[in-house]
Amino acid sequence: MKELLINTFRKLFDKEPVLVYSPGRINLIGEHTDYNEGFVMPAAINKKMVVAIAKNSGTQARIFSLDFEEEFAFDTRSFGPKTGHWSTYIMGVTAQLIQAGFPVKGFDMVFGGDIPVGAGLSSSAALEAATGFAIAKAFGFEVSKLSLVHYAQKAEHVFAGVQCGIMDQFASVMGKKDHTIRLDCRTLEYAHFPFKLENHCILLVDSKVKHSLADSAYNQRRNECREGVVRAQHLPKKVDALRDMDLSDLEQISTQISPTVYNRCKYVIEENARVLKASALLEKNDLKGFGEAMYASHQGLSELYEVSCAELDWLVDQTKTMDFVLGSRMMGGGFGGCTINIVQEDQVALFKKEIQKGFNQNFGKSPDFHLVSLEEGTGVM
């Protein structure tokens, strides 16, 4: 891909580019905790977006997408979102840099990537981070990594119209090879934890289903969590988010909330605790214990938070009969998408064979498999 990007850039623009990349991300544990001001544990992966860029002498941004085989141009003095189009992410970040006072003029850009679209690996966040970093490199701007994270997130909010949390962009930019990140979504304090897989690997199974419930159910879960927080206002402690509650606090308000709201809150409180416990397990290099925490996370997501589905539950349940799998859970918003699995390396072929056969029999389709490793965040190639 690197050679293809450079050659395409030379052919289109007749000059030499700077090459930068930004990776996709996985989330090992800590799901639906981000908007409750809690903890998450993502990591940057070896699937990435790559950008070739150079300044030009005008005010036009001329862009070519390798994946879509499509050209697009806009004037950096005046532009706006193009709903549903890939250029929106690039323009969104450009707008954030200009708004922050950076004098962005014309530039030429070619980009491509190997992040599977629709698998929940945050290809849009990777494109945003890569674009911001590339423009900074091309023009010699001093942009801190944390600022880059914020510009990328705000581009998603303002231009793409998606009110995402900060985890995806943060993981893409701040990733570290062979490490996970424990991120505090309230303070943005973070720490890296070694993830020593030894004779195991991380294998994603994409169910290739996306149930239509996803968006409305996501908003409903946010509201249910908020209801728990509102009911907790009379507690003797200050509660701004579920992050501030423990299970004993939840018991005190249990008669004032519905069983459904109770379950939602219980899951989030327990999941936050699981992320902190998982950090301690990684420090002890206890991969088996980490895997057990993943199974507990999935059980909570399925039974208490109710964001799983038949396909995801089946994928996780099957691994419980495989002694070469340490842990498995659904990853992402839910109602489809991927499971993340820690599998013994020499058993990957058997794992794929068994899962593919059973999934086909039960759901009439074949899942996709993605082997991923933990890599560095945004940088120059």
77-81: long-range contacts at Cβ-Cβ below 8 A with a sequence spacing of 24 or more?
Answer: 81/159, 81/160, 81/161
Residue 117's domain is classified under what CATH number? 3.30.230.10
Q: Label residues 236-271 b or e (16+ Cβ within 10 Å = b).
A: eeebebbbbbeeebbeebeeebeeebbbbbbbbbbb
Distance CA 189, CA 177 (A): 19
317-328 average pLDDT score: 97
**pTM score, two decimals?**
0.93
Q: How confident is the model at residue 214 (pLDDT cuts 50, 70, 90)?
A: low
Are β-strands 336-344 and 200-210 bridged in parallel, bridged antiparallel, or unpaired? antiparallel
Same domain, 190 and 207: no
Q: Which two tokens stand for residue 63?
A: 């862009």
Q: Are residues 99 and 211 in the same domain?
A: no
184 is catalytic: no
* First-to-final CA distance of the chain: 12
Shared domain for 85 and 209, answered yes or no, is no
CB 363 within 8 Å of CB 192: no
**Is 70 exceeded by the pLDDT of residue 51?**
yes
| Nearest Cα to Cα of residue 155 among 189, 123, 131, 184 | 131
Q: Does pLDDT of 119 surpass 80?
A: no
Q: Which two tokens stand for residue 97?
A: 């840099």
Write out the residue range of the structural domain in which residue 96 sits. 2-194
CA distance 285 to 193: 10
Q: Which of 194, 211, 236 is the last residue of a domain?
A: 194
Structure tokens at 261: 């709201």
Same domain for 96 and 162: yes
Whether residues 253 and 126 fall in one domain? no
User: What percent of the chain clears pLDDT 70, i.e. is strictly above it?
Assistant: 99
Q: How many domains in the chain?
A: 2
Give the least confident one: 39-43, 160-164, 197-201.
160-164
Marked catalytic residue, from 34, 108, 168, 249:
168
- End-of-domain residue from the set 194, 216, 249: 194
**Whole-number Cα distances in Å, 199 to 29, 292, 294, 323, 375:** 21, 18, 18, 14, 17
In tens, the pLDDT along 65-116 reads: 999 999 999 999 999 999 889 999 999 999 999 999 999 999 999 999 999 8
Last residue of a domain, one of 194, 217, 240: 194
Find the mean pLDDT for residues 273-298. Answer: 97
pLDDT, tens only, 147-166: 999 999 999 889 888 777 78
Q: Read off the pLDDT of each residue in 356-379 and give the average, rounded to a whole number.
A: 96
In a domain? residue 218: yes
Closest residue by Cα to residue 334 from 354, 359, 315: 315
Q: What is the pLDDT of residue 211?
A: 74
pLDDT of residue 63: 98
**Do 79 and 23 sit in the same domain of this protein?**
yes
Does residue 113 sit in the same domain as residue 240? no
Beta strand extents in the chain (DSSP E only)? 18-29, 39-55, 60-65, 70-75, 107-113, 179-184, 190-194, 200-210, 325-331, 336-344, 368-372, 379-380
